[in-house]
Amino acid sequence: MKIAIIGAGNVGACTASLLISRQVCKKVALIDINKNLATVKAIDLAQMVAALDLDIDVVGGDDYSLIKDYDIVVITAGFARREDQKREDLIATNAKIVASSAINIAKWAPNSIIVVVTNPLDIMVYVALKASKFSPLKVIGMAGELDSARLKYEIASKLGTSSAKCFAKCVGTHNNDMICLESSMKFEDKSIKDTFDPDEIEEIKQRTKNGGANIVKLMGTSAFYAPSAGVLKMCESIKNGDEKPLSCSVFSKFGEDEVAIGRLVKLDNNGIKEILELNLTQKEMKNFKDSIEKIIKIISYINI
């Protein structure tokens, strides 16, 4: 398998490092508008490969021909969120970057699966799909696995235990309207409703929603280790056809409208294998529908 990453910044480089360490693919390409950045990070990663005695090729540069016939292309390119910004503030600038990347991917890797990471995530999945003209099954956004990881972290922190003992999933949009699925929130296969009262559960949800903003506030830029791990999970699932559901932003039809929004899905080497039905409470369903209406309103102003 060959995996390319568009954007050699923090998320792109960390993703490449994880893919190499887990030996997910035989070839990795880093593409960036800053040729020197992509080239030197590719050299550094290639030397990491040498240190680990692995048989993996790493290349980097600004030439999209490097990704010719690659299997998966991850789009991380775009401006990161600053402390004074919402994810939605990045729409105009990042839409141009993602659209350009998607057009080049369609040219050089027409049979690939696109994984979008650039914010605002759900909008950028729509942009990548329209610009690439790919099948909706082959354009997938990474955010739900990041939000789910943050939810697991908050549950574990509240319990003072390992996150490996916790399970949780987030769906919906990758912003403060995300849905922390109460039915999924468990500790050692037991619902956290057996441990926490409603106010404590609401506190966990709110801390999850603020997780990204808190990192931006403390660090001055967006997170990169956890988002990279989310991409890794998706790439491994695409490669192995894992039956374990992942939370991903996928193109879905709602009445006459089509939008990208976080759902629980199964992936394989063709992209989206199955979109699972969500078991939502009445409140969660309202939140989900409201999020769809907001996305429809935003994409009506985007020209691709």
Which domains are delineated in the chain?
A: 2-141 (3.40.50.720), 145-301 (3.90.110.10)
On the question of pLDDT at 85 being above 80, the answer is no
Separation CA 161–CA 92 (nearest Å): 42
Phi and psi at residue 69, to the nearest 5°:
65, 25
Determine if residue 7 is labeled as part of a ligand binding site: yes
Separation CA 30–CA 42 (nearest Å): 7
Integer angstrom CA distances of residue 263 from 25, 227, 248: 26, 17, 6
pTM summary value: 0.94
Confidence label for 82 from pLDDT (cuts 50, 70 and 90): low
On the question of pLDDT at 188 being above 80, the answer is yes
Handedness of CA 237, 240, 132, 103 (dihedral sign): positive
Determine if residue 117 is labeled as part of a ligand binding site: yes
Read off the pLDDT of residues 269-304 as tens digits, 9 standing for 90 and up: 999 999 999 989 999 999 999 999 999 989 887 877
The SS3 of residue 50 is: helix
**Average confidence score pLDDT of the chain:** 94
Determine if residue 207 is labeled as part of a ligand binding site: no
Least confident interval from 80-89, 109-118, 134-143, 270-279: 80-89
Separation CA 12–CA 236 (nearest Å): 16
Read off the pLDDT of residues 248-266 as tens digits, 9 standing for 90 and up: 999 988 877 889 999 999 9
**DSSP conformation class of 197:** -
Please tell me whether the peptide bond between 120 and the residue prior to it is cis, using omega within 30 degrees of 0. Answer: yes
Determine if residue 150 is labeled as part of a ligand binding site: yes
* Element counts in the chain: helices (H) and strands (E): 9, 14
The residue-averaged pLDDT of 17-34 equals 98
Task: Identify the residue whose tokens are 């949780």.
Answer: 168
Catalytic residues: 174
| Nearest-5° Cα angle at 79, 23 to 173 | 80
Determine if residue 87 is labeled as part of a ligand binding site: yes
Read off the pLDDT of residues 130-153 as tens digits, 9 standing for 90 and up: 999 999 999 999 999 999 999 999
Task: Identify the residue whose tokens are 């954007």.
Answer: 7
Determine if residue 34 is labeled as part of a ligand binding site: no
Predicted pLDDT at 81: 64
Integer angstrom CA distances of residue 183 from 7, 40, 47, 146, 170: 36, 46, 45, 18, 11
Task: Measure CA 107 to chain center.
Answer: 23
